[in-house]
Amino acid sequence: MASGEQNDELPRAIGQPATRALTDAGLIRLTQLTEAREADLLALHGVGPKAIRILREELTARGLAFRE
């Protein structure tokens, strides 16, 4: 897979429960998470502190962040 194709995907490292919870909430791209607050994502069943940490790191690496 070319790097351009992978840039906006949710990272696999967050695990299947977190991936399912995010996609069920309509969040299928990493950049969509800039519209979400960490607390709101943590409230989703399947999204825990580890997933939030990984997502935060991925966003930061792209110069992005969760919504305040």
Task: Average the pLDDT over 21-38 and give the result.
Answer: 97
Which residues are paired to 9 by β-bridges?
29
Task: Average the pLDDT over 34-43 and give the result.
Answer: 97
Task: Average the pLDDT over 45-68 and give the result.
Answer: 97
- Computed over every residue of the chain, the mean pLDDT equals 92
Q: Residue 61 burial by CB count (10 A; 0-12/13-18/19+): exposed, middle or buried? A: exposed
CATH code matching the domain that covers 13-61, chosen among 1.25.40, 3.90.1570, 1.10.760, 1.10.150: 1.10.150
